[in-house]
Structure 1
């Protein structure tokens, strides 16, 4: 089973997305839903996807779970929930019991948009993370270099938890290779409970001037850090459309990963996402 570990749906006519207001994002400021993605997945040989939150809204999480219940290719939802809510345990129980609740595999917050680089280390946030871990949900780390030290400390605090680093912590590809990013990635990968999504890399490069060769130093460093069992492919569709097509994004990552062997590519395009998010294999692929 080939899995896209990171994609989004949204409709700016129905909800606000503060991060989408920048003029350069105008071309993706429209509705994207399952009917748009389904033919793209088929054309690119992708069997299933993990739908990831776009805004800080419990209503969006509930909507995404309903979408997952009605959309066979969506095998998991990484939703949003308020980590600072003292009733988070009850909220997670309610989400799990709602339509599509069995597809809830993780929680995420746009940490890199918080003014405090140590937001993850706040006492109320750490209590919320403890609830996520207690519910056996994965936590997606949406951080840049600035917030990565707090992500490292968090992964160490919850060694029994599962964490997935989104977009390889957004290396500044357009500016060149960053030693600080690279060193912090080494430290984060040393936490054996952290996986890393190779997603969103093309949009960190110059949108009109990138290819597999340009991405390779960043993919190679990430692969060296996390190894073959903790790399996950994600398209970051439809954000990826700012820099190129779905096929171009997937093809570039395949080309990079094949340099480390087909087994590395194959695990990143399926099995690793299943393990990180506790997604069972379908019948006929080792499942029951």
Structure 2
């Protein structure tokens, strides 16, 4: 099974997406749903996808579970729930009891938008993570270089849990990279319970001036750090449309991964996502 482990659905007319402000995001400030994604998956040889949260809303998670219930190709949902809520466990149990609830595979919060770089280490957040892991769900780290130390400490605090690092922690590709990002990627990869999504890279480059060759040093670094068993492909559609089409993004990442070996490419496009999220089938 070929899996796109990171895509989104949204409708700005239906809900507020604070991160979607700014004229540069106008091309994606419109509805995107399963009917838009289906032909892209078929055209690019993708069998299934995982839909990932876009806003801090339990209602959105409920909507995504309903979509997953009605859409066989959506095999997993990484939703949102309030990690600081003392009743988080009850919320998670309720979500899992909904139609499509069996497809809830993880939770994510937009940590890189928090003012505190150590937000993950707050006592109430750590309590919430414990409730999450007690239900055998994964946690997606949405962080940049600044928040990686807190992510590393969190991964170490829960050695039996499963974490997925989104977008390779958003390396500063447009600026030529940074030694700090590279060093912290190596440190988080040393935690054997963290997988890394090779996703969202083109939009960290200059949107109108990138190609597989320019992405490759960053893909190679995360591959060297995480190894072939913990790399996961994700398109980051429709955010990726700011930099290129679905096909262009998929092709560029496939080229990068294939340069590292056929096994690296094959595992990143399915096997590793199934392991990280404990996907059925």
- TM-score of the aligned structures, taking structure 1 as reference length: 0.97
What is residue 110 of structure 2 aligned with on the other side? Answer: 110
- Contiguous gaps of at least 5 residues in structure 2: none
What is residue 274 of structure 2 aligned with on the other side? Answer: 274
- 1:150-195 deviation per Cα after TM superposition (whole angstroms, max 9, x unaligned): 0000000000100000000000000002100000000000000000
3-state SS, counterpart of residue 228 of structure 1: coil
What does 1:224-239 correspond to in 2, within 5 Å? Answer: 224-239=224-239
Deviation, structure 1 residue 258 = 0.7
What is residue 11 of structure 1 aligned with on the other side? Answer: 11
2-structure distance, mates of 1:83, 1:265: 34
Instruction: Count how many residue pairs are aligned between Structure 1 and Structure 2.
Output: 281
- Contiguous gaps of at least 5 residues in structure 1: 282-288
Deviation, structure 1 residue 261 = 1.0
CA RMSD of aligned residues (A): 0.4
3-state SS, counterpart of residue 217 of structure 1: helix
2-structure distance, mates of 1:230, 1:132: 21
3-state SS, counterpart of residue 206 of structure 1: coil
3-state SS, counterpart of residue 161 of structure 1: coil
What does 1:189-268 correspond to in 2, within 5 Å? Answer: 189-268=189-268
- 1:19-41 deviation per Cα after TM superposition (whole angstroms, max 9, x unaligned): 00121000000000000000000
What is residue 81 of structure 2 aligned with on the other side? Answer: 81
Deviation, structure 1 residue 60 = 0.2
3-state SS, counterpart of residue 171 of structure 1: coil
What is residue 286 of structure 1 aligned with on the other side? Answer: none
- 1:181-236 deviation per Cα after TM superposition (whole angstroms, max 9, x unaligned): 00000000000000000000000000000000000000000000000000000000
Deviation, structure 1 residue 263 = 0.9
What is residue 69 of structure 2 aligned with on the other side? Answer: 69
- 1:95-132 deviation per Cα after TM superposition (whole angstroms, max 9, x unaligned): 01011100000000000000000000000000000111
2-structure distance, mates of 1:271, 1:99: 26
3-state SS, counterpart of residue 214 of structure 2: helix
1-structure distance, mates of 2:91, 2:34: 26
3-state SS, counterpart of residue 27 of structure 2: helix
What is residue 21 of structure 1 aligned with on the other side? Answer: 21
3-state SS, counterpart of residue 258 of structure 1: helix
2-structure distance, mates of 1:212, 1:96: 39
1-structure distance, mates of 2:42, 2:54: 24
What does 1:39-50 correspond to in 2, within 5 Å? Answer: 39-50=39-50
- TM-score of the aligned structures, taking structure 2 as reference length: 1.00
What is residue 56 of structure 1 aligned with on the other side? Answer: 56
**Worse-matched range after superposition: 192-201 or 254-263:** 254-263
What is residue 138 of structure 2 aligned with on the other side? Answer: 138
Show structure 1 runs of 4+ deviating over 6 A: none
What is residue 168 of structure 1 aligned with on the other side? Answer: 168
2-structure distance, mates of 1:10, 1:223: 31
What is residue 95 of structure 1 aligned with on the other side? Answer: 95
3-state SS, counterpart of residue 62 of structure 1: helix
